[in-house]
Amino acid sequence: MKLINVTNTHSQLVRGQLDNTDAELVEVYTTGSTTIIYTKAPHHHEVVITNKNRKLRLDELRAIKHFFFKKLNLLGTSQNVARQIDTPNLVEISIPIKKPEE
């Protein structure tokens, strides 16, 4: 599965997220019929995966989660730190950002 960064074609969505939430970075990806919105905020990362045409497949979700855990350098850590909300056509994954000990 190949994720394609299509952030530039979703400028209204990106601007809305940046203006109305605590987001510092918003990226939009697609695999064709599946859209993935990645948001980085000061205390967490959010990954929203949606497909309006069909139910999300388990292998698809695993591949997307692997991509983002690799992107965030979290592959060696327990994925149990992520909270996940599942519906048939939408999955939201929230990953807290650990602050360095002071």
Over residues 10-67, the pLDDT tens digits come to 999 999 999 999 999 999 999 988 999 999 999 999 999 999 999 999 999 989 988 8
Band the pLDDT of 77: cuts 50, 70, 90: low
How many CA within 13 A on the CB side of residue 34?
Answer: 23
Domain enclosing residue 79, as ranges: 4-96
Residue 56 token pair = 């999300």
Q: Looking at residue 102, what is its pLDDT?
A: 44
Residue 16 in domain: yes
Residue 25 in domain: yes
Residue 102 in domain: no
Evaluate if pTM is beyond 0.95. no
Which is it for strands 25-30 and 44-50: parallel, antiparallel or unpaired?
unpaired
Region 66-91: mean pLDDT is 80
Q: In DSSP terms, which residues pair with 94 in a beta bridge?
A: 46, 83
* 24 DSSP 8-state letter: S
What does the alpha-carbon distance between residue 84 and residue 92 come to, in Å, rounded to a whole number?
Answer: 6
Residue 54 in domain: yes
Domain of 50, CATH number, reads 3.40.1720.10
| Domain count within the chain | 1
Residue 33 in domain: yes
